[in-house]
Chain A
Amino acid sequence: MLGLDADRLRADLNRLLAFLFHQGILDEQYLQLQQLQDESSPNFVSEVVNIYFHESEKLLRNLRSLLMDREFSDYDKMGIHLNQFIGSSSSIGAKRVRNVCVAFRAASDQNNRAGCLRALELLEHEYCILKNKLHELFQIEQQRLLAAGVRYPMLN
């Protein structure tokens, strides 16, 4: 029964991953991330993604703070934040977030404040989806590892 739990959870994990790829939320770069995870660094993916979340939330706060300033005109600064966001999102395979950042950067390059505001709303929305889905993925993975661990206890 416990083994079936681990198998069922693996199936859930694969289904969720397939969904995330199909929806374009993740791309193949995420698979490359998984390939860097091994026995010596079993939590590598979740650790790196947590770094990404931490950094991204700082960037989102900075972007919102810039745009909420009535006197705002520093599009160069906005471009720097967006470049960073594009780079980090690409590096973990966060495809939709990356694409929204690219559109946001285009609006910023044109000094289009209204376009930037719309892009920021969309970016915050996409980031929220990504974060929730990745948390779900990690939770299922944790449960799967627990279930597999119970199935295969340490033998003397």
Chain B
Amino acid sequence: RKRQLLTEIVLRNRLTALVVDADTTCRVLEQLLLRSYGVQTQGVDNGRDAVTLIASGVKFNLIIIDMILPILNGLEATRQIRDMGVHCKMLGVTACSGESERQAFLAAGVDVFIEKPLDPEHLVPILRELDG
């Protein structure tokens, strides 16, 4: 009943995710969506804090990152995270919908490009894959 319109999955492993979005509404919703599947989440609202957190050694199974971010934008933050040797799954989730934006985000290092809103149809297969 709780998630009649959402695909229900039960994760075997404890997954962790970082949500990087300057918009509070989007960040809160994405974190809540992840938590509804049992994923532990942290959220930051700019690219620099995301890079700092990862550089401090905190590990995540999944990073969800927007393209337009203050202080350090999503493209550059993604590049810096990948340059650190971080190989976790990265989803670029953004309101920018053009092909050039998609190519730029993929070239920066995200694995998947998703136009907002993040929905279960996109998220659940990724969580299943991460859960093995």
Residue from the list B6, B22, B28, B66 in contact with A48, Cβ < 8 A: B28
Find out whether the CB atom of A32 lies under 8 angstroms from the CB atom of B119. yes
Binding site secondary structure of chain A: helix
* 1/0 contact string of A89-128 vs chain B (CB within 8 Å): 0111000000000000000000000000000000000000
Whether the pair A36, B23 counts as a contact (CB closer than 8 A) is no
Q: Contacts A32-B5, A80-B68 given: A87-B26 contact, CB under 8 Å?
A: yes
Interface size on A, residues (CB 8 A): 23
Residues of B bordering A, CB below 8 Å: 2-6, 21-26, 28-30, 32-33, 36, 66, 68, 94-96, 116-120
Interface presence of A21 (CB below 8 A): no
CB <8 Å contact, B94 and A87: yes
- Is the beta-carbon distance between B116 and A87 smaller than 8 angstroms? yes
Q: Can you offer 12 A-B residue contacts whose CB atoms are under 8 A?
A: A32-B6, A32-B120, A35-B3, A36-B32, A36-B36, A48-B32, A55-B25, A87-B95, A87-B117, A88-B25, A90-B116, A91-B117
Q: Which residues of A contact B (CB under 8 A)?
A: 28-29, 31-33, 35-36, 38, 44, 48, 51-52, 54-55, 80, 83-84, 86-88, 90-92
